[in-house]
Structure 1
Amino acid sequence: MAGSVWASLGLSLACISALSLCSPVWFQTPTFSFGVLTYCSWPQGNGWNQSCGTFRSLDDIPDFAWKVSAAVLLGGWLLSAFSAVLLLSWALAPKGLCLRRGSGPMPGVQAAAATATIVDLMVFPISLDSPLAKEACGTSSVYCSGQCLLGWGYVTAIFSAVLASFLPMIGWPRMTQVQGRTILFSSDTEKSILIPEMNK
């Protein structure tokens, strides 16, 4: 049961990360918005008439810090999606089918995905010094958005990073001492393993 909850949370966070990755609203003005991979523009006062574009390759992205941010965020999302799909397959498979149903390296993979997202959130504002950001935001510079406002895409990425950093803690096995024995609890296997205490 706990493994299913862990897998569902991982899959939900992978979807939230994908939403923030594709969002064109990390920073915005009244007529322009941009994210890591997409951007949109529209006439003043007519937000429904948007024209949006996508950076199709790293060469299209206008700044080196922006390129690093896009690569790191995409890598973090791929790690998150991989761990979520693998955990979901373990949770849904019949107990006799998988010989090893434990979490294995998944908490480490999820921690790496959360770290990649956090690194991306720190690197991306450096790209506010790029020509595209300066044209859109006026007096923007490194970690200063000028006339641009923080958009929902960046806030969603922050929310996703915070939740993803707690997710690996759910999967780590918990240990406690009971009458001279170490008991290892694993929420995924729903078994307790007794390990005799070694005399020193």
Structure 2
Amino acid sequence: MGATGHWHLLMVGSVWAALGLALACVSALSLISPAWLETPTFSFGVLAYCSSPPGDSWNQSCETFQSLQEIPDFAWKVSAVMLLGGWLLLAFNAILLLSWALAPKGLCPRRGSGPMPGVQAAAAATTIVGLLIFPISLASPFAKEACETSSLYHGGKCQLGWGYVTAIFNAVLSSLLPVIWWPRETKARGRVIMFSSDSETVILVPEVSK
């Protein structure tokens, strides 16, 4: 592979590494956010909650759940575990992408295509399951006290906050990326296999050594 091809692979790897790091950071930000469901004086997320005096939303007092035992509902605990697992997979995938992008030439010959998209897909699936389970906790005494008329998958007086919306958006992006992750070119038996999406045909082009 010439210098141009090597530079192209480096650029592709760097782009995927940046995307992976961005997804992991946004996932962590939404996970620690207390603004998943909120009222004018109270808001809570998966791992934190905040309260403020009426009419003074800037003077908030926030607390975090220090362990799973402190989380007030079983479904809430399951959701937290799933979302944390999804974030860990995203972080692991981001580290893999970064290492592949920065690896010296020849040490990691497939770095241009990135790691197996299965890691990204597993992270997206785990996160989505956690997001679907979390609204079950709206039937818990904690949520009913905060949202007054909340019930299973019904927020009552609580409105969706930016933390929950960001987590949903991040999960959608994480689930879409593996679809476009597969490389457009693969090598087999000394030839380059070019996939044509227009005619759905496979064109074999002899590999030219440089």
TM-score bracket for the superposition, by shorter chain length: 0.7 to 0.9
Question: Of the candidates 94, 99, 103, which is equivalent to residue 114 of structure 2?
Answer: 103
Question: Of the candidates 162, 170, 174, which is equivalent to residue 184 of structure 2?
Answer: 174
* Structure 1 residue 89, shift from structure 2 partner: 1.4
Question: Of the candidates 11, 14, 36, which is equivalent to residue 24 of structure 2?
Answer: 14
Match of residue 170 from structure 2: 160
* Structure 1 residue 97, shift from structure 2 partner: 3.5
Match of residue 144 from structure 1: 154
Amino acid at match of 1:111: A
Distance 2:125 2:152 in 1: 21
Is 2:16–2:114's contact at 8 Å kept on the other side of the alignment? no
* Structure 1 residue 169, shift from structure 2 partner: 2.2
In the alignment, does 2:98 pair up with 1:88?
A: yes
Amino acid at match of 1:34: F
Distance 1:145 1:165 in 2: 26
Identity %: 73
Match of residue 23 from structure 1: 33
Structure 1 residue runs of 4 or more that deviate by more than 4 Å after TM superposition: none
Is 1:173–1:184's contact at 8 Å kept on the other side of the alignment? no
Match of residue 122 from structure 2: 112
Distance 2:93 2:194 in 1: 23
For normalisation by structure 2, the TM-score amounts to: 0.81
Question: Of the candidates 56, 67, 87, which is equivalent to residue 77 of structure 1?
Answer: 87
Amino acid at match of 1:103: G
Amino acid at match of 1:135: E
* Structure 1 residue 4, shift from structure 2 partner: 1.4
Is 1:31–1:41's contact at 8 Å kept on the other side of the alignment? yes
Distance 1:169 1:119 in 2: 19
Is 2:97–2:115's contact at 8 Å kept on the other side of the alignment? no
Which structure 2 segments of 5+ residues have no match? 1-10, 196-203
Distance 1:195 1:35 in 2: 54
Secondary structure of 1:46's counterpart equals coil
Distance 2:54 2:39 in 1: 10
Distance 1:68 1:45 in 2: 34
Distance 2:21 2:178 in 1: 13
Secondary structure of 2:17's counterpart equals helix
CA RMSD between the two structures: 2.2
Amino acid at match of 1:95: K
* Structure 1 residue 182, shift from structure 2 partner: 7.4
Is 1:6–1:167's contact at 8 Å kept on the other side of the alignment? no
Distance 1:50 1:60 in 2: 21
In the alignment, does 2:47 pair up with 1:40?
A: no
